[in-house]
Every structure is written in structure tokens, then in C-alpha cells.
Amino acid sequence: MHVLKSFYQGKVYMSKQSFHHALRFSKFFAAALLVITAASCACKDSHAHTRQNNNKNNEVADAGVIQIRQIKKAKAVVHGVNDNKVRGTVTFTKVSGGVKIIADVVGLTPGKHGFHIHEFGDCGKNGEAAGAHFNPMNQKHGGPDSLERHVGDFGNLEADSHGHAHYERVDKFIELDGKNSIIGRSIMIHADEDDFKTQPSGASGARIGCGTIEIENE
């Protein structure tokens, strides 16, 4: 009976020992699972951080591309309004010290003709849809070299006896991009001479030629 009791006691003892082994194993397994889970979360966080950094780098790169792709040249094709036969081209090129304007226009009467940039790029309604002179700084009308002038005040084109006018100037007021951008506005030629004094447009008369200023691809 003593041996049998010992046997049973041993059996009971072994059963408890197995239980403790199982308990220790389960604790070990749980700890390992926590380590794996933590590592997985850390990996996800690392990937998310990497993606975030990549997105920021892409944004910086995109900003750099935008800066590189600054507008360097624009052009307006002039056509007659109010039944006039005026036609020509006006180009605008970014150069050191400003924007170079070159105009070649035919179909004019000999003499001087007011030459301006107007607010809107719409030449409809016989040029009236173009609005007033481009004047973002709310200045008085003047000549191209006046201390106070509209951004769009270019003075006059002067046509020869054949009705051809050529104009060149580097202007410091206009911009191809920025707050004084002329892109999407219109170039306007008037019937009469701009006197640089009469407000608000120099008494330059009717609108006879108009063209929308657009970016020119290089």
C-alpha cells in the first residue's frame, strides 16, 4: 500500500511538474508573440515613416521642377478689330533686367498709335471685352519711362509710310510670372497717339488691333 501510495503520489507529482512546464512554455510563447508583434509594428512604423519622407522628398522635387520651368517667353498674335486690317506679332522674352518686348505690326495708318496691355485676354466686342489698362498697382496713366505708370503702359507704336511699325524695349514693370504677370491678358493697339498725360488712357482713341498673350513653348 505504501508503494502504491508513493506511486500515485509520484504520478500526481509528475502531473504537477508537467503543468508547470506547460505554464512556463505558454509564458515563453506569449512573450515571443509580443516581441514579434512589437517588431511588426515597428517595421510598419518604419515603412510609414519612409513613405512619409519619400512623399516629402517628392514634393520638394516637384517644387524644384516648378521653379526650373519658369516662363521664359510669351507671344501675342495681333488681329484687327472694328473692321481694321491691323495684324502682326508681339513677343515677350525674359532677359537680364526685365522683359524684352518686340512688336512688328502692319496695316496701320502712318504715325503714332497707343500701345498697351489690357486687363483681360478677350478681344471680343470690338476689343472692349479686354477691359482697361493692366494696372495692378492702381497708378496713374503715364509713358513707358514715367515714374508713375500703369504696368501695361508701353507708349506708342510708330508706323512708317507703308503702315509698318517695329517696336523694341526692355521693360522692368511687366513679368511673365509673378504678381505682374501678363500671361492671359491682351495687347492693344489704338487709333491715335498716346499723349502720356490724359487719364486714364492717354487719349489714344479707338481700339484697332488686339491679341491675347500666351506662353510660347521653346
Residue 166 annotated in active site:
no
2 in catalytic set: no
Amino acid code (one letter) for 29: F
Extract the C-alpha cell encoding 53.
519622407
Backbone dihedral angles phi then psi of residue 67, each to the nearest 5 degrees: -65, -40
| Identified catalytic residue from 113, 185, 190, 194 | 190
**Residue among 113, 149, 185, 207 flagged as catalytic:** 207
DSSP H helix total and E strand total for the chain = 1, 8
Out of 51, 69, 122, 141, pick the active-site residue: 141
Whose cell is 470690338? That residue is 126
Among 113, 118, 149, 185, the one annotated catalytic: 118
CA atoms within 13 A on the CB side of 40: 6
Catalytic residue check, 207: yes
The active-site residue, picked from 153, 171, 185, 194, is 153
Judge whether 118 counts as a catalytic residue. yes
Neighbours of 173 (CB within 10 A): 20
Known catalytic membership, residue 47: no
> Which of the following is catalytic: 113, 149, 150, 185?
150
Of the residues 113, 116, 149, 185, only one is catalytic, namely 116
> Annotated catalytic sites, by residue?
116, 118, 133, 141, 150, 153, 190, 207
